[in-house]
């Protein structure tokens, strides 16, 4: 039941004093998240619904390329990280248990998954293989900021491909590029796939998925048919920096801030060799497994959507990410005809499998209800009050642009109301 009279949605009139990013301000004000400590965030019910919308899109696209979902632990032995040389990463949480055993809190799972593959894969017949999971990551972030954009704990989808050779790796990588492109399109974000830096992951190549917005911590260089992270642009053929301007083959490139929402890495044998992940080829010779890893952050996609589409009144979700399709507002007390009509509309929409949030609060006036609806940003708002009862028509507003839409019949067939809402929904961005 999603009645606001009993739903945990603690909206706020003012943003946190330390908030600078739009997503930080609005996600707190809209009751989506709450901070527990520096870089530690709790997702409240409506916010978690948005997060899980992203997760489901990602899961569907990963499954479509034959990836198999699993789950690996956050708490891990330190030894695999020592073997790969990543134990020295400053951002890696390190601890010991009561017996003195060294442990880490994983910030990504290359070591864990390669540890298992080294035990499981024996023959070339066991490859190729793609596995993935959604799991909490821990990062000793020195400067948590911007709400859920830079945190110490977050959920990430990370997948890993295992192949016999470089040619197989390229095929698995191409599958992920296609899946990631579709994920980005389905979220409704504006995005770019850019050449990236391998960084602490190592390997032979990388791409990053960037959502342009002013709050972005990264900068991307853009031109006709060209896109790269500013850190790697100067290593690209024909790209140079003259003063503050970037040029490619003499043609000026544009510079735009962006949020990194995903990254993919060609790891090669960077992890398989130190961790002993190998297989026997057709001739019986031992060969190292070729790997790639692929990360994407649901929380960053959520924040990027807020950044890209918010207006001065609040959030305006793309329809695929919205916590609810419809925000139903009733103006009228219990026992009035308008309240009875709103109850019928609510039950009809629920029976028609339409996600609806019903603002049935008694002590809240119309102005505050409308303000909360605009702040939360569900794609459609339906209003049932005295005017609707008298005219027989439900007032409809599309959140994006705050545009009025054709009214819906209140006194018509209930099935017709569901069809009409669904038709409106289909036309939304």
pLDDT digits (tens, 9 = 90+) for 143-155: 999 999 999 999 9
Average model confidence (pLDDT) across the chain: 95
pLDDT digits (tens, 9 = 90+) for 323-336: 999 999 999 999 99
CATH number listed for the domain at residues 326-426: 3.40.50.800
Report d(CA 110, CA 416) in Å as an integer.
52
- The answer, yes or no, to whether residue 130 has pLDDT greater than 60, is yes
Tell which CATH classification among 2.60.120.10, 3.40.190.10, 3.30.930.10, 3.40.50.1000 matches the domain 22-309.
Answer: 3.30.930.10
Pairing of strands 380-384, 218-223: unpaired
| Backbone dihedral angles phi then psi of residue 246, each to the nearest 5 degrees | -100, 135
Instruction: Quote the radius of gyration of the chain (alpha carbons, Å).
Output: 25
Q: List % helix, strand, coil for the chain (3-state, nearest 5).
A: 35, 30, 35
In this chain, the answer to whether the domains covering 22-309 and 326-426 adopt an identical fold is: no
User: 192 has which bridge partners?
Assistant: 210
**For the chain, which residues make up each domain, given as ranges?**
22-309, 326-426
pLDDT digits (tens, 9 = 90+) for 345-370: 999 999 999 999 999 999 999 999 99
User: Which tokens go with 311?
Assistant: 């207006």
pLDDT digits (tens, 9 = 90+) for 73-87: 999 999 999 999 999
């Amino acid at each position: 039941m999603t009645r606001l009279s009993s739903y945990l949605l603690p909206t706020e009139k003012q943003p946190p004093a330390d908030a600078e990013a739009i997503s930080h301000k609005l996600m707190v004000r809209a009751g989506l998240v709450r901070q527990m400590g520096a870089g530690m965030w709790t997702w409240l019910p409506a916010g978690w619904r948005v997060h899980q919308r992203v997760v489901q899109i990602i899961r569907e696209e990963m499954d479509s390329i034959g990836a198999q979902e699993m789950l690996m632990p956050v708490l891990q032995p330190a030894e695999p990280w020592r073997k790969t040389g990543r134990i020295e990463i400053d951002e890696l949480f390190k601890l010991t248990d009561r017996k003195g055993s060294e442990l880490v809190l994983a910030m990504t799972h290359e070591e864990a998954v390669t540890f298992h593959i080294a035990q499981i894969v024996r023959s070339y017949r066991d490859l190729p293989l793609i596995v993935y999971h959604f799991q909490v990551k821990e990062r000793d972030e020195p400067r948590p900021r911007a709400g859920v954009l830079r945190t110490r704990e977050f959920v990430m989808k990370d997948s890993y491909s295992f192949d016999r050779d470089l040619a197989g790796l390229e095929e698995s990588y191409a599958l992920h590029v296609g899946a990631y492109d579709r994920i980005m399109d389905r979220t409704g974000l504006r995005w770019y796939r850019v050449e990236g830096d391998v960084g602490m992951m190592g390997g032979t190549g990388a791409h990053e998925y960037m959502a342009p917005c002013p709050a972005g911590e990264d900068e991307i260089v853009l031109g006709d048919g060209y896109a790269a992270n500013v850190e790697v642009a100067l290593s690209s053929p024909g790209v140079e920096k003259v003063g503050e301007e970037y040029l490619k083959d003499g043609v000026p490139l544009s510079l735009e801030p962006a949020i990194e929402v995903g990254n993919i890495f060609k790891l090669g044998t960077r992890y398989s060799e130190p961790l002993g992940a190998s297989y026997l080829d057709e001739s019986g010779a031992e060969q190292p497994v070729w790997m790639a890893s692929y990360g994407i952050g649901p929380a960053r996609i959520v924040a990027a959507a807020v950044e890209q589409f918010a207006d001065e009144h609040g959030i305006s979700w793309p329809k695929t990410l919205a916590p609810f399709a419809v925000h139903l507002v009733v103006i009228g007390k219990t026992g009035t005809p308008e309240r009875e009509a709103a109850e019928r509309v609510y039950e009809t929409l629920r029976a028609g499998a339409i996600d609806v949030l019903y603002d049935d609060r008694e002590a809240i006036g119309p102005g505050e209800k409308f303000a909360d609806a605009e702040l939360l940003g569900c794609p459609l708002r339906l209003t049932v009050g005295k005017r609707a009862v008298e005219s027989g028509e439900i007032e409809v507003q599309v959140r994006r642009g705050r545009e009025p839409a054709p009214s819906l019949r209140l006194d018509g067939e209930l099935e017709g109301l569901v069809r009409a809402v669904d038709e409106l929904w289909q036309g939304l961005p």
